Amino acid sequence: MDTLQDLFRRLEQLNAIGASLSHERNIARLLENILLAAKAITHADGGTLYRVTDDARHLHFEIVRTDSLKIAFGGTSGEPISAKFADLPLYRDDGEPNNSMVAAYSAIHAETVNIADAYTAEGFDFSGTRKFDQATGYRSQSFLTVPMKNHENEVIGVLQLINATGEDGEVRPFSDSDLRLAESLASQAAVALTNRLLITQLETLFESFINLINMAIDEKSPYTGGHCQRVPALTMMLAEAVNDTTDGPLADFTMSDKDRYELKISGLLHDCGKVTTPVHVVDKATKLQTIFDRIHLIDTRFEVVKRDAEIEALKAILAGEDRERVQAGLQARLRQADEDREFLRRCNVGGEAMQPDDQEQVRRISSQYRWCDLEGRAVDFLAAEELENLTIRAGTLTQSEREIINYHIVATIKMLEALPWPKHLKNVPEYAGGHHERMDGKGYPKGLKRDEMSVQARVMGIADIFEALTARDRPYKHGMKLSEALRILENFRNNGHVDPDLFEVFVKQKVYLRYAEAFLDPAQIDVGAV
């Protein structure tokens, strides 16, 4: 018989359990904690927690525990449960309720069932229990089966406890107080589980909207869609490595599950502002590309220049000039035109750095050849805008186009700051909006310095750069090998671009290698050179 003191103790335990359940974010751990708590307050040796399947036709085994047999399946045990236990049907093949199974009965009728001895109980099929006992040497005796009902009084699961034990270790029936405490716990647990499931559903919906934005960016340009997925992945890899660091300047950095989720969302949204960026700028693979690559227009001009040279030579020959001398001069002009055309083609491709001599050569070609516009006026061979593009020093973007590209982070910050973020996501605008800042304050858009930025924002900055260096889906470059990307990232560390402490973790913990194995072409992983 329960003493008053024992009852009060268990009531206090129940209150503490209820509070702890409301704070658990992980559903698997939550379910496990529910069962363990129920076993503790009822002194049960074993127990099973079932959840009603989405179609409301079965009970699915979630957690199974039997202390005396050291049985642990599901939850944090690491032992999968689906292969061990088949779902219990709530209805027979003929559609009638499966009242013979005590757990099914409890779920169907929303009733608690307290059985003192399964071997003498009538009305329920315990043949499976007896087979289990024969195989293990166990003696399943007392059963307490409690439905878990949500706030709408719907059964969402079943809590089944087995073999209550007294202080002497002997199996006893579950008492009335055990039943009341288990029902109270089941009620609290159902509310906690329902809330967690609702939050998870909302989070899933929220992430789906984020993926929708990234899908829109992807549809605009296939060259950025992968970026929107890979940067969050690398961000989390580096953040976890920093979280695991136990020495050095970053030893105090830790993340809770809420912190991880906040950073994950920040990573997914870090480039959402690119929905405002024109496609012809994002996808500009060559210097002269807009809707199409205008190098072909220049090719046509060279063909016209060559045609005009041939006509001029024919006229000279008809006028009596020396044929061999005229033809030799013509061939020289044609060769020069072909060489200049190929030179402009090479310049159009873009690269890491265009030499000043090559820029001057483009200008010389522009002034050397004459071109008639639609009105018949002689003009420079290259228009001013074409000349500007072909002399771009690095990459394929003009200064104005770079400003358009850079504006995406301003748009990102504006979009994110306009949202009513809940408390656990309030840092998303700062994390996502800081990945183009520099440690020396020379970044954009706000010119923040290292001590003005969170660790998370600095982590994302490294992830964004490294992904861009190694990406294979850019229209203007090939994905770098690891050794080259790490060398450039190291230079960024040295010149105040990225956080030196985070770079150290990135290299020391070989975050780059884990990322490469997951996302890069094997040919890019030149580990021996690292």
Instruction: Please tell me what DSSP assigns to residue 97.
Output: B
Could you tell me if 38 and 161 are in contact, meaning their C-beta atoms sit under 8 angstroms apart?
yes
d(CA 408, CA 48): 52
Of the chain, the end-to-end C-alpha distance in Å amounts to: 70
Query: 190-193 long-range contacts, Cβ below 8 Å, gap at least 24?
Result: 190/148, 190/149, 190/150, 190/156, 190/157, 191/150, 191/151, 192/18, 192/21, 192/22, 192/24, 192/30, 192/34, 193/27, 193/30, 193/31, 193/34, 193/148, 193/150, 193/156, 193/157
DSSP 21-41: HHH---HHHHHHHHHHHHHHH
Residue-averaged pLDDT of the chain:
87
d(CA 45, CA 163): 5
Domain over 221-281+401-529 is classified CATH 1.10.3210.10: yes
Give the tens place of pLDDT for each residue, 131-168: 999 999 999 999 999 999 988 888 999 999 999 998 88
Give the tens place of pLDDT for each residue, 203-233: 889 888 888 887 777 777 666 657 888 999 9
d(CA 139, CA 132): 9
Return the pLDDT at 31: 82
Query: Tokens 């202390």, residue?
Result: 67
- Say whether pLDDT at 508 is over 90: yes
Helix 482-494 vs helix 511-519: crossing angle, to nearest 10 = 140
Return the pLDDT at 10: 61
Whether the ω angle into residue 445 lies within 30 degrees of 0, i.e. cis, is: yes
Q: Among 42, 77, 37, which Cα is nearest to 189's? A: 37
Confidence of residue 11 (pLDDT cuts 50, 70, 90): low
Do the strands 370-372 and 378-380 form a parallel or antiparallel pair, or are they unpaired? antiparallel
Could you tell me if 227 and 271 are in contact, meaning their C-beta atoms sit under 8 angstroms apart?
yes
- Measure the CA angle with vertex 174, ends 169 and 178; round to 5°: 105
Question: How would CATH label the architecture of 4-199?
Answer: 2-Layer Sandwich (3.30)
CA dihedral 265, 267, 272, 273 (to 10 degrees): 130
Amino acid at 121: A
Could you tell me if 239 and 456 are in contact, meaning their C-beta atoms sit under 8 angstroms apart?
yes
What residue ranges do the domains of the chain occupy? 4-199, 221-281+401-529, 295-396
Q: What's the average model confidence in pLDDT over 486-499?
A: 95
User: Tokens standing for 183?
Assistant: 């029902």
Q: What's the average model confidence in pLDDT over 37-60?
A: 92
Confidence of residue 530 (pLDDT cuts 50, 70, 90): very low
Return the pLDDT at 244: 95
Are 4-199 and 221-281+401-529 the same fold in CATH?
A: no
145 forms bridges with which residues in the sheet? 113, 160
Amino acid at 382: L
Of residues 280 and 169, more confidence is placed in 169
Could you tell me if 485 and 511 are in contact, meaning their C-beta atoms sit under 8 angstroms apart?
no
Return the pLDDT at 338: 93
Give the tens place of pLDDT for each residue, 321-362: 999 999 999 999 999 999 999 999 988 887 778 889 999 999
Helix/strand/coil for 51: strand
Helix-then-strand count for the chain, H and E: 18, 10
Return the pLDDT at 529: 42
